[in-house]
Structure 1
């Protein structure tokens, strides 16, 4: 196939491809199609550099030339994907942003099965139970990338990791981190089949988080933003740690707590 063979211009809001891409902003359509939407040159460049190339690349007409855009176009062409040029207004309609970035892409969702995860690939893994805020989910993915974690395991009914909001909040980490979705009753037997220390912040028979006996692979778990972890989940943990609260607040934001713990684990395992 020659370069540019899959390129076309779209000028109407009612175009079927525009409607399809826009529909990916809703979870039911993402699940049905097995696709998700990502936007912005930096994010799509991170995806390309990690080996993820969009099936459909949408670009605004009249954009300034940029070598990273050219690299994306070449990568999509090489994979036989589709490249669409359209107006800024239509791109805004697709992304839902008044000031959309110059590019957006449609990607195939990843394998999120627990069975596909290789715990030996990293010394730290993040785990979130019933996390509801896509911003927190994206932040945890960024934290995982920053500490060299293998990925994020989402337990029970969490926010969709492939929502536009979560993907945006991840700042590209959705492409560098493994994302797994499972139920608690699936996760525990899987964890106990091999090596793995389950750690959570808790007040139940907890030790100070600094200097605690962390061991790799370490699975750092946080709970729901308002309810925290169920008691049975905390009881199952191999290690429960506590972080000091010096002011009136009685807890940290879930994603912040995960970051604090993850860096302490990193320091401990590298020490």
Structure 2
């Protein structure tokens, strides 16, 4: 019976895919599905169909390897776990629909095939979800590590003046890294003024503000002054609404203005030189 079902799916893959696409386009995530290229949708769906056939006909070792490869591929597409589960559920529905429409299922065999489908698809879906979750977690962890490495360095731009550009969400782990790099950089570069640039920070809430205030206090303890630059209008409104006290900070809306003030603090300024 396994071989019969595998042959049916293989021979009717095109019609099953058409039904599946219609079901996916009706989902709430349909817009996301629609922006994908037809070739990517078709190849991914066919690979899932082939995976179903393999699970009915091949040994466990081959099946496990193909699940892992498939999970890596769909994680690179950026599909969420909920989207993956919907796709698999709808693929199952598409198979049932086509089996009923073609007469493959009838009163005499429907119960047997439904039991087989349930016994076969449930562990298959669980295996894919588990493998996908692990792959996605590894991907997110690697992205997080890359972001930490790229967005927490102190850059000397002038003698005694350094800038630390902050990018992305600041959590407790990143805040610790920022603090360490900030203090080490201040001592290493002998900075007197440090500009924390939050232009690339999407949200400044109470926790983020607390981390920034802690960083500024630490900088003062090593003999430097900390300025907060890159405060966008929406960030300023949030800070005021939350009642966050930044009175001890020199703040500016742009890095350029912050640099002008930093130069003034260190008794320097930028002047234009007239051409002779």
Same fold (TM over 0.5): no
Q: Which structure's CA Rg is the greater one?
A: 2
User: Relative CO higher for 1 or 2, CA cutoff 8 Å, sep ≥ 6?
Assistant: 1
Of Structure 1 and Structure 2, the greater helix share is in: 2
Give the alignment's TM-score, normalised by structure 1.
Answer: 0.27
Of Structure 1 and Structure 2, the greater strand share is in: 1
Give the alignment's TM-score, normalised by structure 2.
Answer: 0.27
